[in-house]
Chain A
């Protein structure tokens, strides 16, 4: 938490930065419609990469995202479904965990655990919603694993809660479906591939270091998987959907890699 805050979307200094991004995107789109920027990818434009970011030029962005999709496929292909991530001892655990979201910690909207329910949708037989107490009654699995943020920082955390594979099996989810989506309380949506959802080190975490997860870190329920970058670990989950239909997620819309495996 003591690190220098940067201009990253993960730690925006001012919320308006996102608006600025969206505004300039609209401007570029508009210019593109008038075909002003067509063919702008010249060597000359490349030398201006940083000044006027050519990355945002639609044809360049499309090409880069096509490579990112290709990288999704490569990551799926090299994924070792039973290979376990390194685990650590309780003495290495950092308390409290490090905050990460697309807004600052003061802007977290806490969930009332008494009225909260986990909704289920998609290719699931038993879509009965779950209360927090019902989830606490499920068998728990503990993971002491490294959280790696796409920004480059990491810490070791101690998470526990029901194993996702066991939970998906219990609710009669179609385990041959392609994706598991997590719809969150903060209008955040993330998804992971089914192979990663079924990995033995993927859990629905309810506790950190033996205590209920505190509000900023996803109370009452969050995803914690040892095989994805931090931003894939959805917090404040309010619904889980199993589906074969891909749709862009919060971060993939921003241009982050969707698979984001580690």
Chain B
């Protein structure tokens, strides 16, 4: 886990201390809770989710949506490649027949215009859940450039640890946020390709039909790149793959775990700050 890294711990210490200060200053609304596992953690009474009991890292709903999304993306990319092959954007790129979905163009189109419903409806439910439940805020924010650079440095020196699946490092946060934005973008450009006249106002924001095709294609490329890294890392760290099937480790509450555990961890590791010795 990234916070165990000395350099990064030092980098994050001021921020962590600020969180602690903020918590102290709000102590009139704070109290200590004990969950079933006996782990104590701070909680803000104003945050409704802290009253919940223990939960899994990936609640069942998230797991179902993840795998529906995986199937939808498989369908959309395979059929999209079939559609692409009918009129290639780049003369040097044609997707081989064994990689595409649908022997005939119309089958590719049928799959694409079926998969779009699965992808969009599942995606909307996921985004709504992620925002409403606070999962995105807890898992993906805050995200700082400094942290991203530090994590990339760690990754290059193979210093990243995966002992704790429950906290995402800065690069993970960036990738997950990025692929969600790309997912939104590919749906918008897809709508513009499907209905360039009905949604002509929207389509005109991007440019002509071929430019929209190109953007749609580039979004696909970004998603393929993400999937390649995502699948590779999931195979390198099998417990993360298992967690997406079984739910993973129990977390008392993600928000509470973050504000409760992180400062302590940092304090314990922060040996670069003389004031702490």
Contact among A7, A148, A251 for B196, CB-based, below 8 A: A148
Chain B proximity mask over A179-212: 1 for CB below 8 Å, otherwise 0: 0000000000000000000000000000000000
A68 within 8 A of B: yes
> How far apart are the CA atoms of A152 and B94 in the complex, in Å?
14
> How far apart are the CA atoms of A148 and B78 in the complex, in Å?
22
Residues of A within 8 A of B56 (CB): none
Closest-CB distance, A7 to chain B (whole angstroms): 8
A226 and B197 contact, CB distance less than 8 A: yes
Chain A residue with Cβ nearest B197:
A85
> How far apart are the CA atoms of A164 and B210 in the complex, in Å?
29
Instruction: Please report the total number of A residues contacting B with Cβ < 8 Å.
Output: 44
Chain A residue with Cβ nearest B91:
A4
Q: Please provide the chain B residues from 194 to 235 with a CB less than 8 Å away from any CB of chain A in the complex.
A: 194-198, 200, 204, 208-210, 213
Contact among A49, A56, A79, A251 for B101, CB-based, below 8 A: A49
B87 and A152 contact, CB distance less than 8 A: yes
B104 and A49 contact, CB distance less than 8 A: no
Residues of A within 8 A of B78 (CB): 49-50
Known interface pairs A50-B97, A64-B114, A154-B209; A262-B196 also in contact (CB < 8 Å)? yes
The segment from B31-39, B105-113, B149-157, B237-245 found at the interface with A is B105-113
Residues of B within 8 A of A262 (CB): 194-198
Chain A residue with Cβ nearest B200:
A86
Decide if the interface of chain B is mainly helix, strand, loop or mixed. helix
> How far apart are the CA atoms of A238 and B204 in the complex, in Å?
37
Q: Please provide the chain B residues from 96 to 137 with a CB less than 8 Å away from any CB of chain A in the complex.
A: 97-107, 109-111, 113-114, 117
Contact among B84, B102, B198, B210 for A53, CB-based, below 8 A: B102
Closest-CB distance, A14 to chain B (whole angstroms): 14
Q: Please provide the chain A residues from 234 to 262 with a CB less than 8 Å away from any CB of chain B in the complex.
A: 251, 254-257, 261-262
Residues of A within 8 A of B91 (CB): 4
> How far apart are the CA atoms of A256 and B103 in the complex, in Å?
14
Residues of A within 8 A of B85 (CB): 6-7
> How far apart are the CA atoms of A249 and B99 in the complex, in Å?
30
> How far apart are the CA atoms of A51 and B102 in the complex, in Å?
9
Contact among B84, B101, B105, B111 for A150, CB-based, below 8 A: B105
Closest-CB distance, B49 to chain A (whole angstroms): 36
B210 and A56 contact, CB distance less than 8 A: no
B87 and A67 contact, CB distance less than 8 A: no
> How far apart are the CA atoms of A117 and B89 in the complex, in Å?
42
> How far apart are the CA atoms of A56 and B111 in the complex, in Å?
12
Known interface pairs A51-B98, A68-B110, A152-B213; A261-B198 also in contact (CB < 8 Å)? yes
Closest-CB distance, A77 to chain B (whole angstroms): 11
B101 and A50 contact, CB distance less than 8 A: yes
A64 and B111 contact, CB distance less than 8 A: yes
Residues of B within 8 A of A101 (CB): none
B86 within 8 A of A: yes
Residues of A within 8 A of B196 (CB): 146, 148, 262
Known interface pairs A50-B101, A152-B83, A152-B87; A55-B107 also in contact (CB < 8 Å)? yes
Closest-CB distance, B254 to chain A (whole angstroms): 32
Chain A residue with Cβ nearest B204:
A86
Closest-CB distance, B77 to chain A (whole angstroms): 12
Residues of B within 8 A of A257 (CB): 109-110, 113
> How far apart are the CA atoms of A171 and B45 in the complex, in Å?
75
A83 within 8 A of B: yes
> How far apart are the CA atoms of A150 and B105 in the complex, in Å?
9
Q: Knowing that A7-B85, A53-B102 are A-B contacts, what are 10 other residue pairs whose CB atoms are under 8 Å apart, sorted by A's residue number?
A: A10-B105, A49-B102, A55-B101, A64-B110, A64-B114, A67-B117, A83-B200, A149-B87, A154-B210, A262-B194
| B residues whose Cβ falls under 8 Å from a Cβ of A | 78, 83-89, 91, 97-107, 109-111, 113-114, 117, 194-198, 200, 204, 208-210, 213
Instruction: List the 8 closest pairs (A to B, CB-CB), nearest first.
Output: A152-B87, A55-B107, A53-B103, A64-B110, A255-B106, A151-B86, A151-B87, A85-B197
